[in-house]
């Protein structure tokens, strides 16, 4: 009698990130790198080096901290062959880029697009690069995300649920980020109450776009997150909190410390750094996303 045939279950191939998706992430990584150099390191020189003049310098440094965080997640995503750990971060970039494009178009006269309005050639080049990136990314990412979901392969199953205490912390942070972000994006004048230093309407709306993007990632991770997929985001989240604290310390004289908003802002920066570090510590190495 012949032995019973053995059945070998084929290993499922991972759904991989498309080259075009990597190209868009790479484009945004270039913008993030230039922004970190020009506005985090040289926060006083935005009239010479950035797409528009940002005042006070603390606002420029805060934006640089946000770009520094996204640069971390973009670099880690570009090293990741699988699509699953990139998905949520790509969605957040799309949301931020779309809202920032809207803010840019509403305040286009503030940008160094014209030679008579630009302090330097570098500022004018930065303004045009900013405009191109924020037109390309919101148009390209939705198409690419649809193509990604239709690409062959599958996502690994969720295996590393977010611990309850971390879910609660992320959920509370997401609520604050989303409420404040939506408020100051929709009504920039509310920043005089909700933000601990003065913001122009353009700066208020871009700040709101950042808060909404980070709040989206935090909220989704709290509700349905898997630490295996979100390891890159937890690292970037920890970096965000740390860089925001550095920016605040550098320009601490700008912050209106006699207002509750200042202490809520500082508490949020500390909480974000701690929850990001905790998620990073608890997350697995992500080897299951590196090969299929």
Cβ–Cβ under 8 Å, residues 36 and 64: yes
Neighbour tally for 136: CB within 10 Å: 15
Q: Which residue has the tokens 């985001």?
A: 233
Q: Flag whether 10 is in a domain.
A: no
pLDDT at site 117: 54
pLDDT band per the 50, 70, 90 thresholds, residue 237: very high
In whole angstroms, give the CA distance from residue 197 to residue 116. 30
Q: Confirm whether 282 is domain-assigned.
A: yes
Take residue 236 and report the two structure tokens written for it: 């970037």
| Residue 1: Cβ within 10 Å count | 3
Tally of domains within the chain: 1
Whether residue 3 lies inside any domain: the answer is no
| Cβ neighbours around 162 below 10 Å, total | 25
Pick the closest to residue 73 from 19, 25, 34 (CA basis): 25
pLDDT band at 9 (very low <50, low <70, confident <90, very high): very low
Please give the structure tokens belonging to residue 84.
């699953």
Compute the distance between CA of residue 66 and CA of residue 229 in angstroms, rounded to an integer: 21
The confidence score (pLDDT) of residue 163 equals 93
Q: Choose among 73, 77, 127: nearest CA to 104.
A: 127
Which residues, in sequence order, are bridge partners of residue 16? Answer: 82
CB atoms within 10 A of CB 55: 15
Does the structure show a pLDDT above 80 at 11?
no
Domain for residue 47, yes or no?
yes
- Under the banding of pLDDT at 50, 70 and 90, the label for residue 225 is confident
- Encoding tokens for residue 7? 């059945």
**Higher confidence at residue 61 or residue 122?**
61
Per-residue confidence at 7, pLDDT binned at 50, 70, 90?
very low
Contact 97, 136 (CB under 8 A): no
Dig out the tokens for 237 from the structure: 């989240």
Instruction: Tell me the residue range of the domain where 246 lies.
Output: 19-289
Q: Are 190 and 184 in contact (CB under 8 A)?
A: yes
Burial per residue of 179-192, b for 16 or more beta-carbon CB atoms within 10 angstroms, e otherwise: ebbebbbeebebbe
pLDDT at 194: 97
Residues 21-30 have pLDDT tens digits of: 999 889 889 9
This prediction's pTM: 0.91
Q: What is the C-alpha separation between 15 and 46, in angstroms, rounded?
A: 41
Average pLDDT over every residue of 177-196: 97
Q: How far apart are CA 286 and CA 80, in angstroms?
A: 9
Q: Is 6 part of a structural domain of the chain?
A: no
Tokens representing 238 are 């920890």
**pLDDT confidence of residue 8:** 39
| 246 CB neighbour count, 10 Å cutoff | 15
Rounded Cα–Cα distance for residues 32 and 171 (Å)? 27
Per-residue b or e along 19-50, where b marks 16 or more CB atoms closer than 10 Å to that residue's CB: eebbebbebbbebbebbbebbbebbebbebbb
Does a structural domain hold residue 199? Answer: yes
Average pLDDT over residues 242-266: 97
Distance (Å, whole) CA 277 – CA 280: 5
Distance between the two ends of the chain, CA-based, in angstroms?
37
Does residue 186 lie in a domain region?
yes
Kindly state whether residue 11 falls inside one of the protein's structural domains: no
Q: Residue for token digits 């935090």?
A: 218
């Amino acid at each position: 009698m012949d032995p019973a045939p053995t059945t070998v279950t084929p290993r499922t191939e991972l759904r991989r990130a498309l080259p075009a998706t990597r190209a868009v992430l790479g484009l945004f990584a270039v913008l993030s790198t230039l922004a970190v150099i020009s506005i985090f390191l040289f926060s006083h020189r935005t009239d010479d080096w950035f797409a528009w003049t940002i005042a006070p310098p603390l606002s420029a440094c805060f934006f640089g901290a946000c770009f520094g965080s996204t640069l971390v997640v973009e670099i880690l995503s570009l090293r990741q062959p699988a699509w699953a750990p990139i998905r949520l971060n790509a969605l957040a970039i799309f949301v931020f880029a779309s809202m920032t494009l809207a803010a840019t178009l509403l305040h286009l006269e503030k940008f160094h697009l014209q030679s008579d309005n630009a302090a330097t050639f570098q500022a004018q080049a930065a303004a045009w690069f900013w405009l191109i990136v924020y037109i390309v990314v919101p148009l390209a990412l939705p198409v690419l995300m649809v193509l990604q979901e239709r690409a062959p392969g599958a996502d690994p199953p969720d295996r590393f649920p977010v611990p309850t205490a971390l879910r609660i912390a992320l959920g509370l942070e997401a609520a604050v980020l989303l409420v404040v972000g939506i408020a100051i994006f929709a009504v920039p004048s509310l920043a005089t109450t909700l933000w601990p230093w003065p913001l122009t309407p353009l700066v208020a709306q871009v700040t709101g776009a950042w808060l909404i993007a980070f709040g989206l990632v935090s909220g989704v991770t709290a509700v349905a997150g898997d630490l295996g997929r979100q390891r890159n985001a937890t690292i970037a989240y920890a970096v965000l909190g740390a860089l925001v604290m550095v920016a605040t310390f550098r320009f601490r004289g700008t912050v209106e410390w006699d207002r509750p908003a200042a202490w809520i802002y500082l508490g949020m920066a500390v909480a974000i750094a701690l929850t990001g570090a905790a998620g990073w510590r608890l997350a697995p190495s992500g080897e299951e996303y590196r090969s299929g």
